[in-house]
Chains A and B, each alone.
Chain A
């Protein structure tokens, strides 16, 4: 079974721009979660989508948004990029929402200059 895939793997953007990251979950998985990983803050939960609905959201400003499509693929968008948004963005999928183990993709490394 193919794992979680994320595109692009690397991205360089300028302050003020917006960016869209994509995640394809493991086949059959309906829950997709997004995390931001930085050296200072560690791994922080952004949001989770299940059956095209946002189920839960972390403590991030409204500039961070996401969506999930009917095939469970998910995108996250960050508008008006700030330098502090530079991070590794990880996507994880699980069979259903809630307490099941999550399987992570390789991440998208976003650099904001």
Chain B
């Protein structure tokens, strides 16, 4: 069965600090997809990134970067020079392929960025 673990529950940083959110996953499939979503206080989940299991290239998008390592089953998310607007709950999620694929979320990490 697929599983996503986000061991960090709450992180608090001061603005402009870099912060890394950890995500470890479990799956028996060789083909799978990983995602990160952001849930700001307004409540609506916002899609950030989708990565398939065959693409281990790191990705950078502005202040956001993602490090995917199959060897450690991790898909970590780093925010560089954090801002107050980054305060939110961040979810890592996994879906396997196949007829019964479904998105499984981690418990989420609450990030607070203080001015």
Is there an interface contact between A107 and B43, defined as CB atoms closer than 8 Å?
A: yes
Main secondary structure of the interface of A (DSSP, over half): strand
CA distance in complex: A102, B101 (Å): 13
A45 lies within 8 A of chain B by Cβ: yes
Size class of B's contact patch?
Answer: 20 to 34
Return chain B residues, CB-CB under 8 Å to A99.
Answer: 33, 52, 95, 97, 101
Is there an interface contact between A102 and B102, defined as CB atoms closer than 8 Å?
A: no
Binds A, one of B17-25, B62-70, B104-112: B104-112
A8 lies within 8 A of chain B by Cβ: no
Return chain B residues, CB-CB under 8 Å to A105.
Answer: 44
Q: Knowing A45-B102, A58-B102, say if A98 contacts B43 (CB, 8 Å).
A: no
Q: Knowing A99-B33, A99-B95, say if A33 contacts B43 (CB, 8 Å).
A: no
A24-59 contact mask (Cβ, 8 Å, vs B): 1 or 0:
000000000100000000110100100000011010
Task: Look across to chain B and name the residue whose beta carbon is closest to the beta carbon of A99.
Answer: B33
Told that A42-B105, A56-B101 touch, could you supply 9 new A-B pairs with CB distance under 8 A? A43-B91, A48-B102, A99-B33, A99-B52, A100-B50, A101-B35, A103-B47, A104-B46, A106-B42
A81 lies within 8 A of chain B by Cβ: no
CA distance in complex: A12, B11 (Å): 33
Number of interface residues of A (CB under 8 A): 21
Return chain B residues, CB-CB under 8 Å to A21.
Answer: none
Is there an interface contact between A45 and B104, defined as CB atoms closer than 8 Å?
A: yes
Is there an interface contact between A42 and B97, defined as CB atoms closer than 8 Å?
A: no
Return chain A residues, CB-CB under 8 Å to B13.
Answer: none
Query: Which residue among B45, B99, B108 has the maximum number of chain A CB atoms within 10 Å of its CB?
Result: B45
Q: Knowing A45-B104, A106-B44, say if A98 contacts B50 (CB, 8 Å).
A: no
Return chain B residues, CB-CB under 8 Å to A102.
Answer: 47, 103
Return chain B residues, CB-CB under 8 Å to A23.
Answer: none
Query: Which residue among A48, A58, A100, A101 has the maximum number of chain B CB atoms within 10 Å of its CB?
Result: A101
